[in-house]
């Protein structure tokens, strides 16, 4: 195998700014291409004195809902008085969002300091070129997170898996609690073409000595997860028999929940997020925290306080109100279904103007067919920050097989797409709204543009 080491060039002597450092880090082997091995990140951890073992770890895998569930777990833990670290993947706007301590992204200064501390050791691993590959961007940023959490120090780290589980860099730690959100068909070119294969990869986070906490799963995936837990000899908490969402109702700015917990039902829980999928994620998060506490019930006051304080950017986020613009990260069929159902339930848009950008490796036809159930017209665009983006004309051609041609519009950039969508909404009716979806990167780009506009 040809060595990939030469493909990465670190920052030059003149590139000392945080922006230059970020550019250098993200120029490494990209996270959407998995180099299946833990050898590189394990070697780095060994050189750093194994910081991932300085605190207990809650690891979150799954196809959808990982990020929001991890956020809820972290917020509940902080409400319980613990100092937390949270590793997120991917980021919306700034790479620092991936390393969160006590609910706040690491500062630019501290980010740069952590990199300066570990850079010599990364270089040593690079020189070894395990499997012919230098350390990937995701491995480096994961190593930075584990090091930053040890230095903080944190009481517990909540680690969101980047992709899969078995070979994910976060799995260099042995999780005390392994959380698996619903598994669906995504990243098939890497994880496998059946739910059994995909679940097998995600089950890799379940290790002896921990506890497995499972969201409701398709029977095919559930069978694999249960077998992995049995083989690891770990206790299991499963949605349905052990915890779950009992009731929910719409509320201003979110929803009101009643959750089944270890201590029994807890009601009047306000969650400032939309959709049944988010309510179920909240129940999963409570179960994960209770598993971390050794199976002890979480004080209902902590549940109410923690879930009421949750902030989950770009998860059906109302980013602007005139006209209303909702941003979501939905990028596969499972997420698209949850998003459209939640928009239908929570927002009275008539009509809905869609803004959609997608990556080349996604099933665009299936996702767009689901979006079309709510989007009356769609503006197809592309993001500028990645070569993975599906070209506008290519995606628009797919869209024209789903909508009437007259309902499909094109915009070269996200800025132009938002401007066009707002114009279409303004001229349609006073009840019109805009929904931006199709990609995490697109959600982040749209959010940045809208937030920047608010500051003018």
CATH of the domain at 426: 3.90.190.20
For residue 211, pLDDT over 90 is answered with yes
Q: Is the same domain home to 364 and 255?
A: no
Do the bridges between strand 433-437 and strand 156-160 make them parallel or antiparallel, or are there none, so unpaired?
unpaired
* 444 vs 331: CA distance, rounded Å: 13
Q: Is the same domain home to 231 and 331?
A: no
For residue 228, pLDDT over 60 is answered with yes
Residue 15, pLDDT score = 42
DSSP string, 16-55: -SHHHHHHHHHTSS-TTS----SHHHHHHHHHTT-GGGSS
Judge whether 56 and 77 are in contact, CB under 8 Å. no
- Closest of 79, 77, 97, 101 to residue 89, by C-alpha: 97
Q: Is the same domain home to 127 and 234?
A: yes
For residue 454, pLDDT over 70 is answered with no
> What is residue 385's DSSP assignment?
S
Q: Is the same domain home to 336 and 234?
A: no
Q: Is the same domain home to 405 and 337?
A: yes
Q: Is the same domain home to 60 and 98?
A: yes
Residue 32, pLDDT score = 53
- Closest of 368, 342, 348, 351 to residue 281, by C-alpha: 342
- Cα distances (Å, whole numbers) of residue 412 to 245, 426, 443: 42, 21, 16
**297 three-class SS:** coil
Residue 114, pLDDT score = 96
Residue 29, pLDDT score = 57
Residue 384, pLDDT score = 81
Confidence of residue 23 (pLDDT cuts 50, 70, 90): confident
- State which of 308, 335, 369 marks the end of a domain: 308
* 393 vs 395: CA distance, rounded Å: 6
Q: Is the same domain home to 354 and 285?
A: no
For residue 297, pLDDT over 70 is answered with yes
Q: Summarize pLDDT for 260-293 with one digit per residue, the tens.
A: 999 999 999 999 999 999 999 999 999 999 999 9
- State which of 283, 308, 333 marks the end of a domain: 308
Q: Summarize pLDDT for 121-171 with one digit per residue, the tens.
A: 999 999 987 667 789 899 999 999 999 999 999 999 999 999 888 999 999
Task: Tell me the CATH number at 275.
Answer: 3.40.1190.10
Q: Is the same domain home to 396 and 342?
A: yes
For residue 305, pLDDT over 80 is answered with yes
For residue 46, pLDDT over 60 is answered with yes
- State which of 280, 308, 336 marks the end of a domain: 308
Q: Is the same domain home to 277 and 372?
A: no
Side by side, the strands of the sheet bearing 104-105 are 104-105, 99-101, 84-87, 156-160, 57-61, 177-180, 211-214, 236-238
Would you call the peptide bond into 90 cis, given omega within 30 degrees of 0 as the criterion? yes
Residue 8, pLDDT score = 36
Residue 191, pLDDT score = 76
**274 three-class SS:** coil
For residue 13, pLDDT over 60 is answered with no
Q: Is the same domain home to 147 and 260?
A: yes
Q: Summarize pLDDT for 374-387 with one digit per residue, the tens.
A: 999 999 999 887 78
Can you list the alpha helix ranges (DSSP code H) found in 205-299? 219-232, 276-292
Judge whether 105 and 99 are in contact, CB under 8 Å. yes
- What average pLDDT does this structure show over 243-251? 97
For residue 433, pLDDT over 90 is answered with yes
**212 three-class SS:** strand
Confidence of residue 255 (pLDDT cuts 50, 70, 90): very high
Residue 30, pLDDT score = 56
- What average pLDDT does this structure show over 324-329? 97
Looking at per-residue pLDDT, the higher value among 452 and 31 belongs to 452
Residue 1, pLDDT score = 26
Q: Is the same domain home to 106 and 136?
A: yes
Q: Is the same domain home to 403 and 258?
A: no
Domain extent, residue 375, equals 317-455
Q: Which of 65-74, 300-309, 356-365, 395-404 has the lowest mean pLDDT?
A: 356-365
Cα torsion 80, 114, 89, 253 to 10°: value is 50
Cβ count within 10 A of residue 158 = 32
**Spatial CB neighbours of 130, under 8 Å, sequence gap ≥ 6:** 37, 39, 40, 43
Rounded to an integer, what is the distance from CA 93 to the centroid of its chain? 13
Q: What percent of the chain stands above pLDDT 90?
A: 81
For residue 184, pLDDT over 80 is answered with yes
State the total domains in the chain: 2
Residue 9, pLDDT score = 41
* 154 vs 142: CA distance, rounded Å: 16
Share the mean pLDDT of the chain: 91
For residue 456, pLDDT over 90 is answered with no
* 197 vs 189: CA distance, rounded Å: 11
Cβ count within 10 A of residue 55 = 20
- Cα distances (Å, whole numbers) of residue 277 to 74, 112, 323, 324, 346: 18, 37, 25, 22, 13
The radius of gyration computed from the CA coordinates of the chain, to the nearest angstrom, equals 22
Residue 17, pLDDT score = 63
Q: Which of 8-22, 252-266, 393-407, 436-450 has the lowest mean pLDDT?
A: 8-22
Residue 33, pLDDT score = 56
Looking at per-residue pLDDT, the higher value among 394 and 361 belongs to 394
């Amino acid at each position: 195998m040809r060595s990939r080491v030469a493909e990465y060039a670190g920052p030059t002597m003149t590139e000392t700014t945080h922006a230059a450092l970020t550019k250098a880090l993200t120029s490494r082997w990209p996270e959407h291409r998995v180099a299946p091995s833990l050898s590189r990140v394990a070697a780095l951890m060994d050189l750093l004195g194994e910081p991932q073992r300085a605190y207990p770890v809650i690891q979150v895998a799954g196809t959808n809902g990982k990020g929001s569930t991890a956020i809820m777990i972290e917020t509940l833990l902080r409400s319980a008085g613990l100092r937390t670290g949270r590793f997120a993947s991917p980021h919306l706007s700034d790479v620092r969002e991936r390393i969160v301590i006590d609910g706040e992204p690491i500062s630019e200064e501290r980010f740069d300091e952590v990199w300066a501390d570990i850079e010599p050791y990364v270089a040593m691993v690079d020189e070894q070129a395990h499997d012919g590959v230098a350390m990937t961007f995701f491995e480096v940023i994961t190593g930075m997170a584990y090091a930053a959490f040890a230095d903080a120090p944190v009481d517990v780290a909540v680690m969101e898996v980047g992709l899969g589980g078995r070979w994910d860099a976060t799995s260099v730690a042995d999780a005390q609690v392994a959380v698996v959100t619903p598994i669906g068909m995504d990243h098939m070119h890497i994880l496998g073409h059946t739910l059994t294969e995909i679940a097998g990869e995600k089950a890799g986070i379940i290790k002896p000595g921990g506890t497995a906490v499972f969201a409701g799963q398709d029977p095919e995936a559930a069978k694999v997860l249960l077998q992995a837990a049995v083989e690891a000899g770990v206790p299991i908490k499963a949605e349905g028999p052990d915890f779950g969402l009992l009731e929910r109702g719409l509320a201003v700015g979110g929803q009101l929940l009643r959750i089944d917990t270890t201590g029994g039902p807890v009601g009047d829980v306000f969650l400032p997020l939309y959709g049944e999928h988010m309510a179920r994620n909240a129940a999963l998060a409570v179960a994960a925290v209770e598993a971390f506490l050794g199976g002890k019930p979480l004080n209902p006051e902590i549940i109410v306080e923690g879930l009421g304080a949750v902030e989950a950017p770009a998860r059906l986020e109302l980013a602007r109100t005139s006209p209303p613009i909702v941003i979501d990260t939905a990028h596969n069929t499972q997420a698209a279904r949850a998003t459209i159902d939640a928009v239908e339930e929570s927002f009275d848009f008539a009509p809905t103007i869609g803004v959609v950008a997608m990556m080349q490796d996604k099933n665009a036809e299936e996702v767009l067919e689901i979006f079309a159930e709510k989007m009356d017209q769609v503006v197809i665009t592309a993001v500028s920050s990645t070569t993975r983006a599906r070209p506008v004309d290519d995606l628009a051609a797919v869209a024209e097989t789903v909508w009437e041609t007259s309902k499909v519009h094109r915009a070269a950039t996200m800025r132009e797409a938002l401007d066009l969508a707002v114009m279409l909404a303004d001229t349609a009716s006073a009840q019109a709204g805009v929904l931006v979806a199709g990609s995490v990167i697109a959600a982040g780009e749209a959010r940045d543009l809208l937030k920047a506009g608010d500051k003018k």
